[in-house]
Structure 1
């Protein structure tokens, strides 16, 4: 720095802190940001509120240029609500090593003011780095950040510092200040130190850095209200998409903004696309029931590389709010990708997802993150939380890692992302209720439910023995295959009973038809016996002609009787002349009264 003559007034903020253990760092010119070759970094530039409306620049000592717009590998974003602007540099190479400055226009003399300067050092193995450059926690909760350093920095001073007020916390000291409790422990053997912040407050949100000696690495901390989701920016993420492909980006918002206008902002053409708009290669759809809107971009080409934002109109001050920002990187062979950007499973079931990465990201941190609450799960850790069990295993040889979620819940539905380093790929997970073939006997429950008992009781009146067998089977065997047979038996039982009833009816009708002729014959015999009078003497039958020829017989000694015979197939009209038989009975003379 001694060989460099500054042409601008350099701004140094000097603070005096009364809180025990909080130090003020008043010389930022000796700091060096170390970044891995091919990687990226986001640098925060805080400014005084009086410069909110003024132009801001990123000045490169290498190119001697001032820039305040976004390019393919550079994004400069102002955040007036936080009194800072961020500079994100991507795909960094050795040629980018050098000095850089954050500058604002003052509107007075001098016309420009340097608010921050740093030296950027690109290394294949950075002297200082962090496992994750973006962390989040809830109010009252805790966060941990792991900072790594090279062997030559083993004996250097290790610190955790805040950009906004330049306050620093040192290894081996437990400090409690307005920024919660901070504990820093050094692990010499692994060449890393861990920062732990407990009792988080909303005011702790902001930019920090891990430092060892004069080398540092930036970290962004987001603290949200307990139980309330945060939609603040993941400012250091890049979405990778294949050339000619498509991507869907979820934009979550607070429920209080349900009725407000939402839009997708492109830093490239400075255009706003409001929700419920569908164009040839762009769709912006609001889902108020889920408190999010989705942006789908299709047929992406190199010209679409750039910064994009999910924003909404608040109806208050400030009038607009950015919920999410990302850099879209179009590649013929994406550095990070997934086989399918949409997966689904049943409640209580499992899903697996394979995430691929290029060789340059082999040693980067692999994570499975949820957009809604920005919670992340890391490779080689098995986490059990409110979104079920998550297991992540890395296959270095295949350059992929697999995410497995077990014991799925309906609340697990939503948007996630595969993350490798600062690269991400969105994935939508849909969890549905399990399909059940029968409502009376749930397939997942081996023991009979109340509905099963009710159905069985109704069947018991018809076939008690069969029902008892079925109940015995259901209550003593919980194996899936046996249970399926029970279900089949219960379904077949009504059909068997109906068939049995039909057979019984046929038997009864047949029996009645066979008994009818016998009853008719019995009736004929009874009628004949009642019609013929008993006599003691032998009867002599004769035809009508004989009766006529025997007219000489005394009438007093003759008794006439008629015998009627019934025929089975007789009609209603009977030929009575043919059916009458005349007979004469000779009776022993008795005294007859006159």
Structure 2
């Protein structure tokens, strides 16, 4: 539910000085003992003083923003991505198994209570936004096209009560992006290898991670049993090679530095024939 916020009502009730909806709810949480285990009592109090009926949607949204901010996230994603002006980006959002058949959506705007729906998984794609839901991997992916301004977005899942959500920022830059890859989606073959080059402008890339799993920060390591080798000898290039690929290696990964992450999707296909493909940005080789 999304409603407009209201202001200038109810102040000084139960010793809580408030002038806007946000401060009413925040003060209620503080003055009445706050926390998730007190949520039912908070709603009861709101009903008693006449707030709940008039501003039910607003109260739900603001309580969600205040109370749920300290709860372990139920949606996992990157936090800040650099994009060239006019470009496109795909952002993966990992969710818990219990939300496999729930509606997923993208919300646009810096503040959660006032953000606007961009696209939902039960609605058709628009020209600017698209969304897909991989229920097996529990990842829904949102793609945003023709980006022209820096903004905050939210990956969210509808549920009874409070929707679960996490924000990320898209930093739109003119010229070269602060952190980018030449291809965001790459195909590879099982038993082969794939090389990804992460280019950075300022902050040095420090790690290669898999969404919902672990990261590699040294020259060698492994993620979910897949060997990873990192080469940072070339200036402003962080080269990652994953070898001994399996179909289970398919998924979303990202390069990360201090400020930014850039997601990369790798699809590992079953081996059907000997194939070798070379390009300036990606090398895929199959060994029989």
Query: If the TM-score is normalised by the length of the shorter chain, which range does it land in?
Result: 0.5 to 0.7
Once residues 81 and 167 of structure 2 are traced to their aligned partners in structure 1, the CA distance between those partners, rounded to angstroms, is: 10
**2:251 maps to which residue?**
414
**2:60 maps to which residue?**
none
**Contact map agreement 2:215 2:223 (CA 8 A) in 1:** no
- Which residues of 2 match residues 433-582 of structure 1 at below 5 A? 433-436=270-273
**Contact map agreement 2:85 2:147 (CA 8 A) in 1:** yes
**Contact map agreement 2:216 2:222 (CA 8 A) in 1:** no
How many residues align? The count is 216
Once residues 77 and 89 of structure 2 are traced to their aligned partners in structure 1, the CA distance between those partners, rounded to angstroms, is: 19
**1:314 maps to which residue?**
159
CA deviation after TM superposition for structure 1 residue 50, in Å: 3.9
Of structures 1 and 2, the one scoring higher in RCO (CA 8 A, sep 6+) is 2
**Contact map agreement 1:387 1:408 (CA 8 A) in 2:** no
Give CA-to-partner distance per residue, 1:274-324, whole Å, 9 cap, x none.
Answer: 11431111112223233222111001002xx12111111223x4x2111x4
CA deviation after TM superposition for structure 1 residue 263, in Å: 1.0
2:182 pairs with 1:344: no
**2:12 maps to which residue?**
none
CA deviation after TM superposition for structure 1 residue 232, in Å: 4.4
CA deviation after TM superposition for structure 1 residue 392, in Å: 1.1
Corresponding residue SS for 1:81: helix
CA deviation after TM superposition for structure 1 residue 410, in Å: 0.8
2:222 pairs with 1:384: yes
CA deviation after TM superposition for structure 1 residue 387, in Å: 3.8
Corresponding residue SS for 1:277: coil
**2:232 maps to which residue?**
394
CA deviation after TM superposition for structure 1 residue 403, in Å: 0.3
Match of 1:257 among 87, 92, 99: 99
> CA RMSD for the aligned pairs?
2.9
**2:17 maps to which residue?**
none
Q: What is the TM-score with the length of structure 1 in the denominator?
A: 0.34
CA deviation after TM superposition for structure 1 residue 82, in Å: 4.3
Match of 1:372 among 212, 230, 241: 212
Once residues 145 and 220 of structure 2 are traced to their aligned partners in structure 1, the CA distance between those partners, rounded to angstroms, is: 36
Residues 78 and 389 of structure 1, relative CA distance in 2, 3 Å threshold: same
**Contact map agreement 2:76 2:212 (CA 8 A) in 1:** no
Residues 391 and 334 of structure 1, relative CA distance in 2, 3 Å threshold: same
**1:244 maps to which residue?**
86
**2:68 maps to which residue?**
81
Residues 50 and 83 of structure 1, relative CA distance in 2, 3 Å threshold: farther
Corresponding residue SS for 2:68: helix
Corresponding residue SS for 1:300: coil
CA deviation after TM superposition for structure 1 residue 426, in Å: 1.1
**Contact map agreement 1:346 1:431 (CA 8 A) in 2:** yes
**1:187 maps to which residue?**
none
**Contact map agreement 1:370 1:416 (CA 8 A) in 2:** yes
Residues 301 and 385 of structure 1, relative CA distance in 2, 3 Å threshold: closer
Match of 1:329 among 146, 171, 174: 171
Once residues 233 and 350 of structure 1 are traced to their aligned partners in structure 2, the CA distance between those partners, rounded to angstroms, is: 25
**Contact map agreement 1:387 1:411 (CA 8 A) in 2:** no
CA deviation after TM superposition for structure 1 residue 394, in Å: 0.9
Residues 352 and 432 of structure 1, relative CA distance in 2, 3 Å threshold: same
Once residues 250 and 187 of structure 2 are traced to their aligned partners in structure 1, the CA distance between those partners, rounded to angstroms, is: 9
Once residues 178 and 33 of structure 2 are traced to their aligned partners in structure 1, the CA distance between those partners, rounded to angstroms, is: 42
Structure number with bigger Rg: 1
Give CA-to-partner distance per residue, 1:174-203, whole Å, 9 cap, x none.
Answer: xxxxxxxxxxxxxxxxxxxxxxxxxxxxxx
Once residues 392 and 81 of structure 1 are traced to their aligned partners in structure 2, the CA distance between those partners, rounded to angstroms, is: 38
Once residues 429 and 233 of structure 1 are traced to their aligned partners in structure 2, the CA distance between those partners, rounded to angstroms, is: 16
**Contact map agreement 2:76 2:93 (CA 8 A) in 1:** no
**1:282 maps to which residue?**
129
Once residues 353 and 389 of structure 1 are traced to their aligned partners in structure 2, the CA distance between those partners, rounded to angstroms, is: 14
Match of 1:429 among 259, 263, 266: 266
Once residues 223 and 170 of structure 2 are traced to their aligned partners in structure 1, the CA distance between those partners, rounded to angstroms, is: 31
Match of 1:292 among 117, 132, 139: 139
Residues 405 and 78 of structure 1, relative CA distance in 2, 3 Å threshold: same
